[in-house]
């Protein structure tokens, strides 16, 4: 208004501009919120898998409806007076020629362009009838799901792009993969075996030695029959070894190493699945130095969904142990423990390994004295062998570029082992730890 002073007008004008700007910003913010609300969020691997399943289901439903309609048309044509049944059949034949049949990947055993498939042929009704609580208590994992999944299922490739380089394997030796098992369900055991066949270059896989630590699970009697259904070039690489005694990991792995025919041995738990490109990074390190013991990036397979975890080994970590000799994981020292130029893909020096999956030179394994044969059942063997390696001229590394999936089962393994009835397992495990301390820890024990 005319009677307002100049400073007052300027102040009033600034306030009005401020209000207009705030209103404009508010409208913009509201538009952004609406856009984000309406935009789909990126799907997780599990959601993508579910979407693919639903798409396949809808496609199958459409094919089923089409087949029913064709049958109805054919029936009308054959039973009517119009004489057009032949034309209907002719059109049907043309449609069938257009649609190429898609092979079922688990319909039968075979190798298609180097891809091995196999179907589980056992009675799974007893497991299917169990409550979930009883199933997890007995098996520590979702065996119902495992029994219905393809044995040659795909796994996502979560490697960093730097890990997907081409390795010169011309001077790499073939390996003996040693899978030890005790009362392992047949579906997880066979899926492990098939993953080794499908994700290992054939010239690098010398054999798979499967060592049974005197299992008592009835369905495992079907293992030889399933192996016999494999194509000959794969079947001939499998050797089944059954022990007469049941005393655990140390005895079974040592027996497997004794049976192995090739210069590099890879020990594996039974409930594992190797990932794409798993072997070459380990062989590269061993070929450079035969005293290296190398451990892959062990990715969890969820015990309920069996999905592979997607995490990377960054920040880097390494194995350690507490004063109870229990295995722990601690941060690695980036300056001291990483052994390469690319820190994200460099091998990581580690004092201790988890123990379930690793590779090493077979001759070096026996030069170290193998495992302590007095360590029984389960526990302490991984710390004991780690001490041997470091204190007898070797080294140990974790490799971010090598990935293997592993089911960390949720159950009391000893309660499920009827062969341990009457044995004080806790006392045995304490004795294992004491042996490691007495032999290797000197004044630190």
Whole-number pLDDT of residue 311 = 85
Other beta carbons within 10 Å of 344: 16
pTM: 0.75
Rg over alpha carbons for the chain, rounded to the nearest Å, is: 30
Q: d(Cα 204, Cα 287) in Å, to the nearest integer?
A: 13
User: Would you state the structure tokens that stand for residue 202, as one six-digit string?
Assistant: 């054939």
User: Would you state the structure tokens that stand for residue 4, as one six-digit string?
Assistant: 């307002």
Phi first, then psi: what are they for 166, rounded to 5°? Answer: -85, 125
Q: d(Cα 36, Cα 48) in Å, to the nearest integer?
A: 20
Whole-number pLDDT of residue 29 = 53
Whole-number pLDDT of residue 167 = 96
Residue 281 near residue 411 (C-beta atoms within 8 A): no
**Of 392, 324, 409, residue with least CA distance to 140:** 409
**Helix 45-79 and helix 85-98: axis angle, to 10°?**
160
Residues 6+ apart with CB under 8 A from 199: 274, 275, 276, 277, 278
Whole-number pLDDT of residue 419 = 82
pLDDT per residue of the chain (445 residues) written in tens, 0 to 9: 344 443 343 334 344 444 445 555 554 555 544 444 444 444 444 444 444 444 444 444 444 444 444 544 444 444 434 444 444 444 544 444 444 333 333 334 455 557 999 999 999 999 999 999 999 999 999 999 999 999 999 999 999 999 999 999 999 999 999 999 999 999 999 999 999 999 999 999 999 999 999 999 999 999 999 999 999 999 999 999 999 999 999 999 999 999 999 999 999 999 999 999 999 999 999 999 999 999 999 999 999 999 999 988 889 999 999 988 999 999 999 999 999 889 899 999 999 999 999 999 999 999 999 999 999 988 899 999 999 999 999 999 999 999 999 999 987 877 878 888 888 989 999 999 999 999 999 998 8
Residue 128 near residue 205 (C-beta atoms within 8 A): no
Whole-number pLDDT of residue 159 = 95
Residue 90 near residue 136 (C-beta atoms within 8 A): no
- Mapped to the 3 state alphabet, what secondary structure does 359-428 carry? EEEHHHHHHCCCCCCCCCECCCHHHHHHHHHHHCCCEEEEEEEEEEEEECCCCCCCCCCHHHCCCCHHHH
Whole-number pLDDT of residue 414 = 79
User: Would you state the structure tokens that stand for residue 13, as one six-digit string?
Assistant: 């004008």
Whole-number pLDDT of residue 46 = 43
Residue 260 near residue 176 (C-beta atoms within 8 A): yes
Whole-number pLDDT of residue 175 = 98
Cα 209–chain centre separation: 19
Degrees to nearest 5, angle at CA 401 with 395 and 404? 90
198-228 as b/e: b if 16+ CB within 10 A: bbbeeebbbbbbbbbbebeeebbeebeebbe
Residue 389 near residue 293 (C-beta atoms within 8 A): yes
Q: d(Cα 193, Cα 200) in Å, to the nearest integer?
A: 11
User: HSE of 204 in the Cβ direction (CA atoms, 13 Å)?
Assistant: 23
Q: d(Cα 324, Cα 342) in Å, to the nearest integer?
A: 35
Degrees to nearest 5, angle at CA 28 with 23 and 30? 95
User: Would you state the structure tokens that stand for residue 263, as one six-digit string?
Assistant: 């210069």
């Amino acid at each position: 208004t005319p009677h307002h002073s100049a400073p007052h007008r300027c102040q009033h004008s600034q306030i009005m501009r401020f209000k207009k700007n705030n209103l404009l910003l508010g409208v913009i913010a509201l538009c952004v919120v609406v856009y984000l609300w309406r935009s789909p969020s990126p799907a997780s691997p599990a959601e993508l898998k579910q979407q693919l399943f639903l798409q396949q289901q809808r496609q199958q439903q459409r094919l089923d409806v089409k087949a029913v309609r064709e049958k109805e048309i054919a029936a009308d044509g054959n039973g009517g007076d119009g004489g057009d049944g032949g034309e209907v059949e002719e059109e049907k034949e043309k449609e069938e020629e257009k649609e190429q049949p898609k092979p079922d990947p688990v319909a039968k055993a075979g190798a298609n362009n180097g891809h091995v498939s196999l179907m589980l042929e056992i009675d799974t009704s007893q497991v299917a009838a169990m409550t979930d609580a009883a199933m997890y208590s007995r098996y520590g994992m979702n065996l119902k799901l495992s029994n219905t999944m393809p044995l040659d299922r795909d796994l996502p490739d979560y490697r960093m792009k730097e890990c997907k380089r081409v390795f010169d394997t011309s001077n790499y030796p073939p390996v003996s993969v040693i899978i030890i098992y005790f009362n392992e369900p047949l579906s997880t055991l066979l899926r492990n075996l098939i993953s080794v066949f499908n994700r290992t270059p054939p010239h690098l896989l010398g054999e798979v030695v499967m060592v049974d630590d005197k299992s008592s699970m009835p369905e495992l009697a079907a293992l030889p029959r399933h192996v016999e259904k494999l194509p000959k070039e794969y079947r001939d690489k499998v050797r089944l070894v059954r022990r007469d005694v049941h005393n655990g990991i140390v005895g079974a792995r040592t027996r497997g190493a004794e049976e192995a025919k090739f210069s590099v041995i890879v020990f594996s738990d039974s409930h594992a699945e190797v990932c794409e490109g798993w072997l070459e990074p380990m062989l590269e390190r061993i070929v450079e130095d035969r005293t290296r013991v190398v451990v892959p990036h062990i990715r969890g397979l969820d015990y309920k969904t069996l999905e592979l975890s997607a995490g990377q080994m960054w920040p880097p970590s390494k194995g350690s142990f507490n004063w109870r000799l229990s295995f722990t994981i601690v941060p690695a020292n980036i300056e001291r423990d990483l052994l390469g130029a690319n820190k994200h893909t460099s091998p990581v020096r580690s004092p201790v390994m988890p123990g379930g999956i690793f590779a090493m030179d077979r001759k070096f394994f026996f030069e170290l004295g193998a495992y302590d044969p007095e360590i029984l059942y389960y526990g302490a063997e991984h710390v004991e062998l780690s001490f041997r390696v470091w204190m007898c001229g070797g080294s140990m590394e974790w490799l971010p570029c090598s990935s293997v999936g592993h089911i960390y089962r949720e159950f009391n393994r000893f309660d499920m082992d009827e062969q341990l009835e009457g044995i004080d397992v806790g006392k045995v495990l304490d004795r294992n730890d004491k042996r490691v301390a007495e032999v290797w820890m000197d004044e630190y024990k």
